[in-house]
Chain A
Amino acid sequence: MADEAGGLVIDPMHQFQIHPLFGEGPLTWYTPTNQTLWLGIAVVVISILMLIGSAPRKVIPGRTQSITELLYTFIHDMVEEVTGHEGAKFFPYLMVLFTFIVTSNLLGLIPGSFAPTSHIAVTAVLALMVFLTVTLVGFYKKGIGFLGMFWVSSAPLVLRPILALIELISYFVRPLSHSIRLGGNIMAGHAVMKVFAGFAGVMGLASIVPIAAIAAIYGLELLVAVVQAYVFTILTCVYLRDAVGEAHH
């Protein structure tokens, strides 16, 4: 972003600004913003894919049907393997989680677009929902026995209180790491591309170097977009296993 001629002014964070979609009015809790627009686009894209893909109901699937079935079986197998059979009731939740994150991440890579998942508010809500679900379901299912996961019975008795403290802290840090891992990755990737784009704007012919770098980083970001969605979903499965599955400590 070279706002003034000659000076190198890069504002990589400007792209994350949230502003009202219509007019310049103040931002209330219901004002449609640029983020609302891209949330909506993600919802529409996912809905169209899922509805068109599931409509034909062919025994031998076509392309779109294959994509939806691939998504379905991918998440289904992940839930079955990681969370266990008890986790099957969280399957729709994880389906929404994965499709939403991966679609938002990928849509955010369209130049000029906006990635809702680059905002900590969004990822924090997603992570807190997981945290609250795990905690509530854990206590509902196991009662006070849910606290047993903090008491490492395989460790020497002297170490157990210390380990319990560490386990407890790590448990409450989970939503933080869970959300910042996703938001930070997406934000960092976008910011880095913006920085290189700023270089490209003032380097004349040599700007071929930052442009090539942007292309390379873009490929990396495509990978990050999918991998981070996968990581978020599989971590959710792992956390859910604490609530419904057998103890694994």
Chain B
Amino acid sequence: MSTTETVAGAAGEASQKGMPQLNFATWPNQVFWLLVALVILYIVMTKIAMPRIASVLAERKGKITGDLAAAEELKSKAKAAEKAYNLALEQARVEAAKIIVATKAEIQKDLNAAMADADAQIAAKAAESEKRIAEIRAGAEQAVGEVARDTAGALVAALGGTADDAAIAAAVAVRLKG
């Protein structure tokens, strides 16, 4: 140890003039403490700091990838939902069109039936009316004949003639036809 001291002492005196960097007496001391510092730093880095940072970075990377994948999945899900919606809409349209057609046909059927019914009723009523008109007409012709015979008989009697009913009836009948 005493030799180290004398060397260091002598070097210390010399170092007052030259560059302290080239005072080799201080080198063992510098090297020793530098190695201590580097070893401590290496331990701090490798044992604590770097594994932590690496795990955080890996975690972040994983999270980003996971989130992106989830977003992709949700996007595809949304697309599928949209497709399903469109499909349902299309089906509903077709269904609605079918219902419209069916309803129209049904209504047409009902309408036709009702029309036929009404036509039949109208025809029946018309036939009945015609019959009645015919009856009335027949009755009226008969009444006209009677009135004409009565009137003709009365006229003949008033004019002083005598006429048998048969002759009057024949004459009236001829007139009525004319």
Tell me the A residues contacting B by CB distance below 8 Å: 13, 16-18, 26-33, 35-36, 39-40, 42-43, 46-47, 50-51, 53-55, 57-59, 61, 65, 68-69, 72-73, 91-93, 95-96, 99-100, 116, 118-122, 125-126, 183, 187
- Given A121-B21, A125-B35, decide whether A28 and B40 contact each other with a Cβ distance below 8 A: no
Interface residues of B (CB under 8 A from A): 1, 4-5, 8-9, 12, 15, 18-23, 25-38, 40-42, 44-46, 48-50, 52-57, 59-60, 63
**12 pairs of residues in contact across A and B, judged by CB atoms under 8 Å:** A18-B23, A29-B28, A43-B40, A46-B41, A51-B49, A91-B50, A99-B41, A100-B41, A119-B21, A121-B27, A121-B31, A125-B31
Task: Given the known inter-chain contacts A26-B9, A125-B34, A183-B21, please indicate yes or no for A50 contacting B26, CB distance below 8 A.
Answer: no
Further 6 A-B residue pairs, CB within 8 A, beyond A27-B8, A100-B41:
A29-B4, A51-B44, A69-B53, A118-B21, A120-B21, A187-B21
Q: What DSSP secondary structure best describes chain A's contact surface?
A: helix
User: How many angstroms from the CA of A116 to the CA of B22 in the assembled complex?
Assistant: 14
Contact present for B57 and A69 (CB under 8 Å): yes
Number of interchain pairs (Cβ within 8 Å): 135
Asked if residues B57 and A92 are in contact (CB atoms below 8 Å), the reply is no
Task: Indicate if the CB atoms of A47 and B35 lie closer than 8 Å.
Answer: no
Q: Of A13, A55, A116, which is within 8 A of B20 by CB?
A: A13
A17 touches which of B9, B20, B25 (Cβ 8 Å): B20
With a cutoff of 8 Å between Cβ atoms, the chain A residues found around residue B55 in the complex are 57
Which residue of B20, B44, B60 contacts A50 across the interface (Cβ within 8 Å)? B44
Q: A31 and B44 in contact (CB under 8 A), knowing A57-B56, A68-B53?
A: no
Q: Which residues of A contact B44 (CB under 8 A)?
A: 46-47, 50-51
CB contacts (< 8 Å) of B1 on chain A: these are 28
In the bound complex, do residue B29 and residue A31 qualify as a contact, i.e. CB atoms below 8 Å apart? Answer: yes
Nearest opposing residue in chain A for B26, CB measure: A18
Q: How far apart are the CA atoms of A242 and B56 in the complex, in Å?
A: 32
What is the minimal beta-carbon distance from A129 to any residue of chain B, in angstroms? 8
B37 & A40 in contact (Cβ 8 Å cutoff): yes
